[in-house]
Amino acid sequence: MNVSKETSGAAGALLRRVFWATLGVCIVVSLAMAGCHYLGARAQAEGERYVKNSVVPALWDPERVIRLASSNLLAEVSPEQMSKAIQKIAAGLGHLRTVRGIRSNAYSVNLSISGLRFSPSYDVQADFMHGSGSVSIILIKEHGEWRIRRLRVSAPTLTF
């Protein structure tokens, strides 16, 4: 089989273009992933301060928790339902005595028309008047402010 130099030169040029295009895509994807990681780590640290300074002190105050709730959470659970649940949990566990630690978990990243949205999550280990438990919190930023997306309390002494 006789392949002309013209044909092999065109194939070589095509391979070079494919190589450079692939390399470019890999670089762009790597930069995007690094940017998401940086922004996610920053959001995680910001969110942890918010949990420590705003959410934990408000845990058993239904009005404060409702003010800190995201629009998504309020769409799923009415303020009345949330208030009743918080009062029931507070009665079962009693006052917060100590926070043993706040652990950052994974965060999710959502891309929408309005941009990237980070949703960090945390587990708060705490001792209450009637036992120990954990509070799982997922945050979301709405209009530049952190809000509670999910709030779940787990404790062996809680019975519903």
Q: How far apart are CA 160 and CA 89, in angstroms?
A: 9
Q: How many CA atoms lie within 13 A of 115 on its CB side?
A: 8
Break the chain into its structural domains and give their ranges: 7-154
Tens digit of pLDDT at every position of the chain (160 positions): 555 555 567 788 888 898 898 988 888 888 877 777 777 778 888 889 999 999 999 988 999 999 999 999 999 999 999 999 999 999 999 988 999 999 988 777 776 776 777 888 999 999 999 999 999 999 998 888 999 999 999 998 877 6
Q: Strand 115-128 to strand 145-154: parallel, antiparallel, or no bridges (unpaired)? A: unpaired
Four-point Cα dihedral 152, 106, 101, 160, nearest 10: 10
**β-pair partners for 140:** 147
Q: What is the pTM of this model?
A: 0.75
Could you tell me the fold of the domain covering 7-154?
A: Nuclear Transport Factor 2; Chain: A, (3.10.450)
